[in-house]
Amino acid sequence: MINVQSEDLFTPKIQKRLASKVARSVIFVALLIGLLMSAVVAYLDLKETKEHFIKTVEQVIQTANQPAARAAYNVNDDLAGEVANGLMEYQSIISVTILDDLHNTLTSRSRVLAKSPHRWIADSGFGGLQSFEIELRTLDDPEVKAGFLQVIADPIDIATEFVQRVALEVLVILLQSLIIAGIFSLIFYRLLIGPLQNISKALARTNPDEPLATRLVVPAKNHGDELYVLAESGNRLLQSVAKRIHERDKAETDLRKAAETLEQRIIERTAELAEQYEAAKAASKAKQEFLASMSHEIRTPMAGVLGLADMLLEDKISLETREKVEKIKDATRSLLVIINDILDLSKIDAGKLKLENINYQLHRELNKTLELVEQSAQEKSLELNLQIADDIPANLHGDPTRLRQVLINLLGNAIKFTEEGEITLSVRQEQQSKDLSWLVLKVSDTGIGIPADRLDEIFDEFTQADASISRRYSGTGLGLAISKRLVNIMGGRITVLSEENQGTDFEFRIPLKEADKNTPSPTEDIEPDYYQARRNLVILAVDDNPLNLRIVSALMEKYGHVVHEANTGKEAVDQLSNTVQGEEPDLILMDIRMPEMSGPEATKIIRELDGPIAKTPIIALTADVVEDHVKEYFEAGMNAFVAKPINPTKLLEEINSVLQEPIHEPVFQKEQSA
């Protein structure tokens, strides 16, 4: 049931109750009507009283007419005085004067004007003092004017009686009005207010959760009227509410059961997702570890092969042997391209590939790209063409490295699958809207083409047109898959049109972003012919692979540097711990994966040593180039890293960078000859 506080909320104050409002309204109307009726009655009474007063004074005067006429006719002062005294007997007459025919005063009587609070009504309602004058004629000689009778009447007594009478009449009328108002209020209460109060109280006591416990009723006398309709309508609403409550309770029960079931399912599904997430994390980690391990295990011997090949090429060998060594390097670089493709694909799938946003010269990048594939085209006697539209801006903004990577993949495929004819790289601009232009690049060849039923799969990973193509032309099928992903990341799309034995057209478009006019145009990088050292360094080279250690030492000794060697990270730490102050190495070249102690572990220990040795620059030389692992190298305290197989130019530039001075200066033979 509803508590007392709730009942108080539904109990109106007395002045706000409908019965009080109706009673006040009825009484007000009754009093207003009573006052209006009293005003009408008073007005009529005033009018009648005033007329009666004048008529009475005139009758009194007429009564004294003949005696006053004889007194005036006979010029009898005594008789005139008696007549005047007689008139003064009437209380309303305050002055009497009898004149002869010559207006000589025979007698005059008067009294002082009485003071009364009702003087205002006498003056305003009855016209104040009333003057009367009549000619006196005797009955014996009516043709002869005997004199004049002048009377002044004061209506104060009549006014006083009028006020007393009207006050009583108003009181009676108001009492009658109040009695009628009370009767009407009682009738209204019994017919309307009472039943409404019963309905209101019943609704106020209604328990919202048990509406059927309340029944709205009205007296039998109200059956069929509006109150009866109201009560029945309320009962129907209560029944409807009860039905809705029942449906709500049932729905809540069903919902609660469903929620419990759903909660259990969510718990189970969450557990499944957690397991799947952990499995995915483990799989991703395993994949990363596999890629890192594969990269390390493949790049390590590749580093040895390329290093030995470079060492051989520096020796005096026959042309035939030099050609064989060059082919060894080419084969090794081809393997390196495959490894890089796999790492790129993994990086793209993980969403970790980041694009550069720099200004570059499109013509220069295209020419560089063609130079890289030009030798392969010449070996097959293929014509290599470049067509660039004149309306393309010279300086653009974007990632030139990834642009070259896509073009190298497409041009490489075109050269690979074309036996004769030509390869054409065409570049144009296409305006889509006011704010968007496309840079459209198309690689066309006259090669073997692609079957129509294989076009939809050509961009899938590890996919080629068919098995015979793979056997005949080799390749992993990663180039196009990577190209498509790179183009998508750059905000573009790539398409292919081909017909068997008629050639293939690969076309891709990326947003054309012109370089900022205020930014200087990029300068062309000229490869130096070789480097020379300005001063000799003391370098500690750390690597568990004797071949790689030998190659690194030979490379550094080539520039006159003194190289100390350590076969493990622990051995490097021991050497540095026993180093006499002042004989610290200028630089440490540290391998990453080593037994006993890894490169990052050794670096952390070195950074905690006492003295200047702790600040010695450390460059990681690693075959593990997975991005997350590279981040760990820097967190361990390394200053830079160079990927294996080592690019000598890259290593020399990193040494200059970490030592913050140009140790190795580039030499251009053209400048020397000049």
Q: Does 348 have pLDDT greater than 90? A: no
CB 619 within 8 A of CB 653: no
Range from 77-81, 108-112, 573-577, 666-670 carrying the lowest mean pLDDT: 666-670
Environment class of residue 371 by beta-carbon count within 10 Å: exposed (0-12), middle (13-18) or buried (19+)? exposed
Taking residues 343-365, report their average pLDDT.
75
Query: What is the mean predicted confidence (pLDDT) over 41-69?
Result: 87
- Residue ranges, comma separated, of all CATH 3.30.565.10 domains in the chain are 356-511
How much is the pLDDT for 581?
76
Architecture of domain 530-673: 3-Layer(aba) Sandwich (3.40)
Give the residue-averaged pLDDT of 496-515.
89
The 10s digit of each residue's pLDDT in 215-268 is: 777 677 777 777 777 777 777 887 787 788 888 888 888 888 888 888 888 888
Q: Which residues contact 421 (CB under 8 A, 6 or more apart)?
A: 382, 383, 445, 446, 447, 503
Buried-state track 558-574, b at ≥16 Cβ within 10 A, e below 16: ebebebbbbbbbbbbbe
How does pLDDT run across 442-472, given as a tens digit for each residue?
A: 999 998 888 887 877 787 765 554 444 444 4
Domain with CATH 3.40.50.2300 in the chain: 530-673
Residue at 282: amino acid letter: A
> In the chain, pLDDT over 90 holds for what percent of residues?
11
**Residues of CATH 3.30.450 domain(s) within the chain?**
18-179
**What is the SS3 assignment for 213-276?**
HCCCCCCHHHCCCHHHHHHHHHHHHHHHHHHHHHHHHHHHHHHHHHHHHHHHHHHHHHHHHHHH
pLDDT per residue as tens digits for the range 89-118: 888 888 999 888 888 888 888 888 888 888
Per-residue pLDDT at 618: 93
Tell me, yes or no, if the pTM score tops 0.85: no
Residue with structure tokens 């020796």?
A: 315
| Residue 291 pLDDT exceeds 80 | no
Distance of alpha carbon 507 from alpha carbon 445, whole angstroms: 12
Return the SS3 of 131.
strand
Q: Stretch 335-351: mean pLDDT, rounded?
A: 64
State residue 511's pLDDT score: 92
Beta sheet of 93-100, edge-to-edge order: 105-110, 93-100, 145-153, 130-137
What rounded mean pLDDT belongs to the chain?
81
Between residues 322 and 387, which one has the greater pLDDT?
387
Per-residue pLDDT, averaged over 143-147, amounts to: 83
Task: Fill in the DSSP letter of residue 116.
Answer: -
By mean pLDDT, which of 409-418, 528-537, 538-547 is the weakest?
Answer: 528-537
Chain-centre distance for alpha carbon 443: 47
Q: Are the C-beta atoms of 464 and 477 separated by less than 8 Å?
A: yes
Residue where the block lists tokens 């030099």: 322
Rg (C-alpha) for the chain, rounded Å, is 63
- Residue 639 has a pLDDT of 92
Which pair of structure tokens corresponds to residue 21?
């409002």
Fold of 356-511: Heat Shock Protein 90 (3.30.565)
Cα–Cα distance, 644 to 632 (Å, whole number): 17
**Is pLDDT at 370 greater than 60 in this prediction?**
yes
Q: Quick one: DSSP state of residue 94?
A: E
DSSP structure string for 597-612: S-HHHHHHHHHTSSSG
CB 395 within 8 A of CB 521: yes
Measured at the alpha carbon of residue 120, what is the angle toward residues 119 and 123, in degrees to the nearest 5?
A: 85
Name, in order, each residue with C-beta under 8 angstroms of 674's C-beta and a sequence gap of 6 or more: none
Compare 368 and 207 and report the one with higher pLDDT: 368
What integer is the mean pLDDT of 329-336? 66
DSSP helix/strand/coil, 512? coil
Residue linked to tokens 């490894």:
339
pLDDT of residue 442: 94
Confidence grade of residue 561 (pLDDT, cut at 50, 70, 90): very high
Both tokens of 321, joined, read 């042997």
- For the domain covering 18-179, report its CATH number: 3.30.450
Burial class (CB in 10 A: 0-12, 13-18, 19+), 522: middle
**Lowest-confidence segment of 197-206, 416-425, 481-490 by average pLDDT:** 197-206
pLDDT tens per residue across span 171-227: 888 888 888 888 887 887 777 777 777 777 777 777 777 777 777 776 777 777 777
